[in-house]
Amino acid sequence: MPITDLLEKNSKLYGNEVALVEINPELKEEQRVTWKEYELIQPTSSAFYRRQITWSVFDEKANRVANMLLDRGISKGQKCSILLMNCLEWLPIYFGILKAGAIAVPLNFRFTSEEIQYCLDASDADVLFYGPEFIGRIENIAESIKSTTLLYYVGDQCPAYAEDYYRQVTNCSSLAPKILVQDTDDGAIYFSSGTTGFPKAILLKHEALMQSARMEAIHHETTKEDTFLCIPPLYHTGAKMHWFGSLYTGSRAVILKGNSPKAILSAVSNEECTIVWLLVPWAQDILAAIESGNINLNDYKVSQWRLMHIGAQPVPPSLIKHWLKYFPNHKYDTNYGLSESTGPGCVHLGMENIHKVGAIGVPGYGWRTKIVDEQNNPVKQGDVGELCVKGPGVMVEYYKNPEATAEVLENGWLHTGDMAMLDEDGFIFLVDRKKDVIITGGENLYPVQIESFLMTNNKIHDAAVIGLPDERLGEIAAAIVQVKEGMELSEDELNQFCRELPRYKRPRKIIFAPVIRNATGKIDKVKLREMYGGTRLVEKQNKS
């Protein structure tokens, strides 16, 4: 069953019920629009505080996109890229591409012009949908891409070199196109985060997308009555595949164009959200706002909020213990995954296992796991090795890159590049990224472990640990520490705090500075190494 069948089912069963709400907290609340008005005037997301569409309108809009593409000669298997900020148009365009039998290629909104062009070339994209935020970047490459790529502009005042999306799609049929889409068909290409150079194109089938939807609904017991708050960027498998739980159950979702504590809690309160997926920095910011008095929880309706879950990165156990102080009735889950495994959930903690906070959990629905050494042999329980996963969500390949594919895929097993260990109860603990392990004086240091310890200090807002070159030890651990606003923390005080760590794990250098994270909340260690002369950068320069 292809993922598009779920949208058509919801349209038939729940046609007049709200499917998607978009909220732009930067605008005034009186700027609202109903789904009927939306059909008539096609407003752009920059004009209104709140917009919504029903399941039937969602499906009709996807059909119009599909028929528009088919009318322009796009055939089954061709690639269509999406470069949009989160908005109400995003998902109908995505599903319209799939309904045409084409392959959807979401692009990171932080990509530079060079990276956009690289990804269009790497995925063989024939179409690009893009929004007003990217006019400058597309103008830089328009001359070189417009001869091979059909450009659809999703916004007001369409540039001369692009097609006006709103004008074109309005004139297309709202009936489902007669294109046979099967679960064995290729459905999407997602790009890796590009932390080791240009990103790799990850090819996924429809059956992998469907597995993700079914798994999300099962893991979080999603029902028709739930409302999911979607905050992270939709180009990322994390946000998209968590929303797939709403698609699977026909339940409502809210797309929030902002991530401040006030915006998040206002959306939870006003839209009566029950499930919220947060990134670590946003959870930290909410807690900081509550403790500083900038947020009063009594001003918000949060009693219906039943589940807070976090993914995309290791979660400090201290953060969840702190969270439960203010939200004691929340269920909690953490979700582990990669774009190569169709997003989060191949390993998950499970809502019933909050006593195991700190672990990434157990194999997810339909998944198997193993932890292996350098020779691909299973390690003993308690030993550190590379985490491998196998299941229906494993990617087909890195598109047009057989060498890179062979490095990570073996007999259906995906080598994740993450170092992990299995405890006595069968729970998997993530130790660190293989490439981030610091080797100091012959000892392996796992930055995540040190970061988790640092985060137990109530004066620290965020922390990252990287390797710096050292003549005697090879490399040493350096801690980038971001102190909470309004607090003071000296180097001597922090060194004293770190005496609780074994000597070889203590940071040898402390840098008080902001911790840089990417759009999905992961610590951007590549940039931090570039800023502070980290060892991976030195190695790269020595090889060149």
Q: Where residue 460 falls among pLDDT bands split at 50, 70, 90? A: very high
Distances (CA, A) of 349 to 315, 316, 352, 365: 11, 14, 8, 12
| Residue 26 pLDDT | 83
| Residue 120 pLDDT | 96
* 513 class by beta-carbon count within 10 Å (0-12 exposed, 13-18 middle, 19+ buried): middle
Tokens in use for 248? 């699977």
Q: Where residue 279 falls among pLDDT bands split at 50, 70, 90? A: confident
Whether residue 534 is predicted with pLDDT greater than 80 in this model: the reply is: no
| Residue 528 pLDDT | 87
Q: In CATH terms, are 24-207 and 437-543 the same topology?
A: no
| Residue 146 pLDDT | 86
- Determine the Cα–Cα distance for residues 89 and 44; give it in Å rounded to an integer: 9
**Bridge partners of residue 390, in order along the sequence:** 368
Q: Name every residue whose Cβ is closer than 8 Å to that of residue 338 and which is 6 or more positions away in sequence.
A: 237, 346, 414, 416
| Residue 307 pLDDT | 96
| HSE (side-chain half, CA atoms, 13 Å) at 342 | 31
Domain 24-207 falls under CATH 3.40.800.20: no
> Any idea which of 33-37, 247-251, 279-283 has the lowest mean pLDDT?
33-37
Range list of H helices, 90-157: 90-99, 113-122, 135-145
Beta strands per DSSP E along 312-367: 331-338, 343-348, 362-363
CB 473 within 8 A of CB 502: no
Q: Name which residue leads in pLDDT, 433 or 153.
A: 153
> Any idea which of 4-13, 215-224, 429-438, 457-466 has the lowest mean pLDDT?
429-438
Q: Which of 46-60, 134-148, 434-448, 522-536 has the highest mean pLDDT?
A: 134-148
What is the SS3 assignment for 86? coil
Tokens in use for 134? 């990217």
What is the SS3 assignment for 92? helix
> Any idea which of 138-147, 219-228, 380-389, 495-504 has the lowest mean pLDDT?
495-504
Q: Each residue of 206-262: pLDDT tens digit?
A: 999 999 999 999 999 999 999 999 998 999 888 899 999 999 999 999 999 999 999
Measured in degrees and rounded to the nearest 5, phi and psi for residue 445 equal -110, 135
Tokens in use for 273? 């959200």
Q: Each residue of 336-357: pLDDT tens digit?
A: 888 999 988 999 999 999 889 8
**Bridge partners of residue 418, in order along the sequence:** 433
Whether residue 194 is predicted with pLDDT greater than 70 in this model: the reply is: no
Q: Where residue 443 falls among pLDDT bands split at 50, 70, 90? A: low
| Residue 540 pLDDT | 32
Which residue bears the tokens 């923390």?
489
| Residue 73 pLDDT | 96
Whether residue 538 is predicted with pLDDT greater than 50 in this model: the reply is: no
The backbone region for 184, taken as left when phi is positive above 0, alpha when psi lies in -120 to 50, beta otherwise, is alpha
CB 466 within 8 A of CB 533: no
Q: What is the mean pLDDT of residues 463-470?
A: 88
Q: Where residue 119 falls among pLDDT bands split at 50, 70, 90? A: very high
Q: Each residue of 259-277: pLDDT tens digit?
A: 999 999 999 999 999 999 9
Whether residue 446 is predicted with pLDDT greater than 90 in this model: the reply is: no
Bridge-based pairing state of the strands 443-445 and 438-440: antiparallel
Whether residue 182 is predicted with pLDDT greater than 80 in this model: the reply is: yes
Nearest to 86 by CA among 311, 222, 247, 259: 259
| Residue 47 pLDDT | 63
Whether residue 536 is predicted with pLDDT greater than 70 in this model: the reply is: no
Q: Each residue of 14-23: pLDDT tens digit?
A: 999 999 999 9
The string of DSSP codes covering 417-443 is: EEEEEE-TTS-EEEEEEGGG-EEETTE
CB 159 within 8 A of CB 136: no
Q: What's the CATH code, domain 437-543?
A: 3.30.300.30
Q: Where residue 197 falls among pLDDT bands split at 50, 70, 90? A: low
Whether residue 128 is predicted with pLDDT greater than 80 in this model: the reply is: yes
Q: Where residue 469 falls among pLDDT bands split at 50, 70, 90? A: confident
Domain coordinates in residue numbering, the chain: 24-207, 437-543
Measured in degrees and rounded to the nearest 5, phi and psi for residue 259 equal -140, 20
Whether residue 535 is predicted with pLDDT greater than 80 in this model: the reply is: no
Q: What is the mean pLDDT of residues 75-97?
A: 97
- Determine the Cα–Cα distance for residues 406 and 320; give it in Å rounded to an integer: 38
Which residue bears the tokens 């582990």?
336
Whether residue 539 is predicted with pLDDT greater than 80 in this model: the reply is: no
| Residue 313 pLDDT | 64
Q: Each residue of 288-310: pLDDT tens digit?
A: 999 999 999 999 999 999 999 98
- Determine the Cα–Cα distance for residues 279 and 263; give it in Å rounded to an integer: 15
Query: Could you tell me the pTM of the whole model?
Result: 0.83
